[in-house]
Every structure is written in C-alpha cells, then in structure tokens.
Amino acid sequence: MKKVQFDVTGMTCSACSARVEKGVAKLEGVQEVSVNLLKGSMAVRLDENVIDTGRIIDKVVDLGYGAEVQKPVEKKQELKPLDTAKLETDAVKRRLIVSIIFAAPLFYISMGHMAGWPMPAFFHNAMVFAFTQFLLVLPVIIANGKYFQIGFKNLFRLSPNMDSLIALGSGAAVVYGIYAIYKIAWGMGSGDWDTVRSFSMNLYFESAGMILTLITLGKFFEARAKGRTSEAIVKLMNLTPKTATVLRDGAEEVIPLEGVVKGDVLIVKAGDTVPVDGMIIEGYSSVDESAITGESLPVEKHAGDRVTGGTINKTGYFKMEATAVGDETTLAKIIQLVDEATSSKAPIAKLADKVSDVFVPVVIAIALIAVVVWLLLGRGLEFALSIGISVLVISCPCALGLATPTAIMVGTGKGAAKGILIKSAEALEVAHSIDVVVLDKTGTFTEGRPRVTDIELNGIDKAELLTLAASLEKMSGHPLAEPIISEAEAHKLEMKPVEDYSLIPGQGITGVIEGKKIFAGNRKLMASSGIDIEQFTGLEEKLANEGKTPLFFARDKELIGIIAVADTIKPTSGQAISHLQGMGIEVIMLTGDNSRTAEAIGRQVGLEKVIAEVLPGDKEQEVRALQEQGEKVAMVGDGINDAPALARADVGIAIGAGTDIAIESADIVLMKSDLLDVAAAIQLSRAVMRNIRQNLFWAFIYNTIGIPIAAGLFYFAGGLLLNPMIAAAAMSFSSVSVVTNALRLRFFTPKWEKA
C-alpha cells in the first residue's frame, strides 16, 4: 500500500469535501481517503497494482473539482506556503473592495428614503430608482461570479454545496428584482401606480448585493485567519537557509543548499543557521535548538557531536560533515510529520461529514417548503421569497467544515513549536481520553547514562581511588565501567598500567597496579577474596535502597573505598509524575530492572505502581492486559526497544528520540528527553478537543437557532423574522468565529508554565 497526498481545488464547504471523499473512496484499489477542507488536501492510501494517481485525479475532476499530486517536502519549501495563503487573501480582498464600492451606494439608494437620507430628485422616478439599483448590483454579481459558477454547477450535478445556497439565495433576489422592473414598467405604462409603488419597495437588489458583500467579507476574515493556522509549518519551512558554505579544494565556497551532498565539509560561523544534519569534526559552539526541540537554552557542541539543520550557531565556529540532506534531514521529517498530521482527519470529524452529506439538500428542501407554506397561508410572493432567501443564506455549512481541521492544524502546529510532534489527528484526539500512562525507566525516568553518584573513602584520597578504579575498569567492557572512567577523566587523572588483569564472572575484576593487587566488584568478590567489608554494610544497604549500584575497591586485601554508580533520575521526572497524577491519570513504571532498584526509583518520583523485571517482549502483554481492563493506555518509551508496546498502546509516545525520530513505532514523538512533555501532550490534546467541541457548537448553534427564525416559525409569536442581509452577516460570522476560536490554541501553555 502507498499513501499519496493530493492538492484539491474548488472545495468551499464540508459538503464538497464529503462528496470528494465519498466519490474517491468508491474507486477500486483505494483503501482509505481523508479530505481536509481547510488545507484543500486529500490523503489517499491505495494499491498501486490496482489503481494509479491519474484515475484518482480524473475522478475528482468528474466530481467538479481540481486535483494534482502534492510536491515533495523539499519542493514545498521552495514554494513558500505563505504566498499561497496571501494569494487567496488578496483575491478575496479584491472581490470585497469591488463589492463594497457598488454595494454601499446600492444600499443607500434602496434604503435611504426610509431613513430620511437626502436623495437626488431623479430617483423619485420609479424606473430610474429600480434600474439604477440593477446596474449597481451587476458588478457585485460579476465580482463574486464564482459562487454562481460553482454553486449552479454542483446543483445541476445533484450535489449542492455552500455556493449553491448562496447562488440560489442571491440569484432568486436578483431574478425577482428583474421581474419587479418589468412590473414597474408595465404599471407606469398602464397607469397602475399602486403596482408601481408596491414593486418599487420590494426590489431585493440590495439584498442580493449585501448578501454577496457580507459573505465575501466573512470569507476575507476567514482567509486571513486560515493563513495564520499554518504559521507553525511556515516557520519550520523558513528555518532552512538558502545557501551553505562548503569547503572544497581547501577553499570556502557559498553554494545553494540544494548543492550540498552527503560527506561535504561545511563551515558554520557564529550567527549562521546550520544548513543540514551533520557531525562536528572541528571546533566548538553553543547551538540554539529551540526551533526544533522547544528547548530554550542553547546546547554546547564539540567535535563528535551531532547538529541538526535549522538550528542556529549562537557562538563559536565549527566545521561539520553533512550526514543527511534534502528530505532526509530531521527538519524535513518534522515538516512532513506535521503536514501529514494536519492533513489527517480526527474521528470526531466524521460527525460533521455525516451532517454535511445531507445538510445542503435538506436546507434547500426547507427553503422551498417554507416558500410554499407561506404562499398557501396567503402571504405575498415578496414575503415568501424573503423567507426562502433567508433560509438558504443562513444555512451555509462553512463553519461545520472548518470546526475540526482548524483546531487540529493550530494544535499540531503549537505542539511542533514545543517539540511535541503529533503523527495524526486521531492520535491527538485519543490522547485526551488516556486513563493510564505506562513509562519505561531507562532514558525516560532516568538520564539513560549511568554516572558516579557517591564515593566513600577508607584510608585513601579521592584522586588516588579514582585513578586506581578507572585504570582497572578501563580494561573492562562492563556498562558500569564507563561512568567511573568518565569521572576520572573529568578530574584530569592519568590512568596507570595494569598487569595480570582477570575477569571473575558475576563478581568483578582484578589486576596489578604498581606491584599491588587491586580488586573491583561486588560483595561476592570481596567475600571470596577474604576482604572485610563489614564497616560498609549499612552504607551498602542504604545505597541499594536508593537504586544505586555500590562497587567495592580493595588493595592487597584491604578495603579502600566504595564508588556508587546509578542511572540518575531526570530533574523534571518527579514534577511530571505529579502533574500526570493531578490530571487524574494513573502512572505505572515498566522496566526490566530488578525490583529493588525499580522500587527505589519509584519512591523517589512518587510512583505508586512499579512493574519490574519485565522483558522487552513482555511489555506489550502488560499494555494489552491494561487495555483488556477497559483502560485507555499511553506507552512512553524510546521508540525502538519498546516498539511492540508502543504499537499496542492506544497512544505510543517516543521520548528522547532526538534526531533519530521513531516515526514508525510511535503516534507522538517528543524531541526532548523530558517527561513533562508527556503531560504537555495530553494537556494539548484536551485543549484541542475542547476547542473542537466549542467549534462544533458554534457551527450548529447558528443553524439550529437561525433556520427556524428564517423560516418564519416565530412570526406569529411577536412578528420575529430574519432579514436576508442579517442572515448573510450571521452566516459569515459563524465561520469567522470558528476559525478565530481555533486560533486561541496558539496561546496554549502547559499548566506548570503558567504558574
């Protein structure tokens, strides 16, 4: 199966997107379709052996829309998506200016006499009065011709959409106005002045003009707001520099970024943006990685460290070797990930799709029924027509189609800005309902890199103990040897030669340094070698209870000290657990470590439940067991060793992935090794879902309240009616309110950052 992204043009409401989705889904070989109205995109999972992209494009064209395969990420970066949003906004702005220029005098002429506004004498002639209004409404209709072109085309295809409602409503008003001009002319010719007065007061040209103007005004505000929803992706795309300084034949050369290939040696000076992913081979620097990881503090980089394209060299100068270019870079993968997430569809969006599928035909039916009923009740054609137009105009389902994708796009963009990469809209939705968070220990709770925590001396100074210990441990490949060697190197201690090195499985190591035998290992080694450690028995117990591993060191049968090593807990782990528990989420630590160490770490971070001595393959079974109890489970791990459990969980979260993004195994990828981001991701999900529900409320409430009023159901209870122009303003405001509400997510901040 292959997933292909398409750009779809011509969609104006959720009825359009639902029609495209349903039509493409019927094609043989298409497994899954997701259409995003906001972005004008479509994601299709297809069987290449059965169907090709050409047939899918042809189907979309047959449905009345345009389609083309999206360009790759690196090409998108060249296109500057801001330009696309600006083009759309500028086009709507031009239509709006033309509409206002002609609609304003049209409104003045048609309504001025009722408000007592001064009017030229020649407008007292009914034919001049009517025909002038007709001439003024024509430019408004021409400027907004797309509503009529698309609306009637879809109506004739028996798939009416938002444009169909606008075209029918404003078109009916114009047709009635033209009919009124003929009636005025006939009345003036036959001396029937009652007919002339009656039709002069009911032309409806101003309704048509104001409906189109107000809807275009709403579209203008909507286009501006929609442009801001993709700010996060745009900012990511703009991180990549246009050029890079490459070292070739011993000389510096500035070349376009596209010319950089793997293995090139690049020069990055202070203030420069790192062009691609790579490794520092010379120099040092302080690099600002906030745009990629969300980490505010610059990170020190030296030779051998990796750097990521799109980050900024704050100080220093270094040479780097390019290891990933083009769409292989971390930044390109992040852009692709965020782009796919904003193009996907959350399960809650299916509600809007189902409603949209039948909404427009039902509205047209309601409008026709309302017109017929009021005619049968003896009201005039003008009254019944006004009712029908109001129903059509206020019912446009723009807001319904924007309710979910706007919140998803802003939410995922905000997450990306904080180093929280959400793979799909479904993962974003499911995360809000998580009951249990299962956490791996190493690299999640802890740093994942053991270090020396305690040094206890017995008749020897610290430097000498570290020198002997590191010299002997350097012969060993044991994981606990590295932190001792690093500690000695940090103190700039020189290693001493070791003779007669010996490894004793399960106990430790021995060797001769400067003619004296050195022992390094656990209690068993000390006991088997006849070395007395009783004076440190209580300390050993205390260190073990704290989750630390004590290593004994002796010289010629005499104990000289203990060095304790532990994989230390991250500074924010306890705070993260507290926040998760405060959110009503049960937190469980799942680890392969022994029970004593695991429980010691659990106590330090305030955990109530620890499951220890679990093999990697058994973690998946533990997650499944929780799900079988009816729990919604999030699994947090490194995205590689915990892949089965991450895949099994309702939401898999890869933490500490850094530049090696575990896209395949996780639904959410955290760019920083910080457990607080797990709580932040769930809080963000809850904020997005709350925002979507608010949007759906606003989308439905206008129609729920507006349609009955527009249809005249409350006319006999106080004469309450809805003027077509007010209906147009209300419909436009519903779309603007939905998009504006979604934009509030840009100000999302985790609770602990607000304090």
Residues designated as active site: 440
Length of the chain: 755
Measured in whole angstroms, the distance separating CA 649 from the mean position of its chain's CA atoms is 20
Specify whether the CB–CB gap between 520 and 509 falls below 8 A: yes
- Rounded CA-CA distance 740/264 in Å is 46
Can you name the residues that pair with 35 across neighbouring β-strands?
42
CA angle 106, 108, 110 (to 5 degrees): 65
Closest CA to 138 of 177, 168, 111, 179: 177
Closest CA to 750 of 680, 663, 699: 680
Closest CA to 70 of 31, 43, 52: 43
H or E element at residue 107? helix 81-115
Specify whether the CB–CB gap between 46 and 31 falls below 8 A: yes
Specify whether the CB–CB gap between 712 and 370 falls below 8 A: yes
At 549, which amino acid appears?
A: T
DSSP β-ladder status, 516-521 and 508-513 = antiparallel
By the 10 Å C-beta count (0-12 exposed, 13-18 middle, 19+ buried), 642 is classed as buried
Kindly provide the b/e burial profile for residues 409-418, where b requires at least 16 CB atoms within 10 angstroms of the residue's own CB.
bbbbbbbbbb
User: Got the DSSP string for 429-440?
Assistant: HHHTT--EEEEE
Measured in whole angstroms, the distance separating CA 233 from the mean position of its chain's CA atoms is 9
For 313, the 3-state DSSP assignment is strand
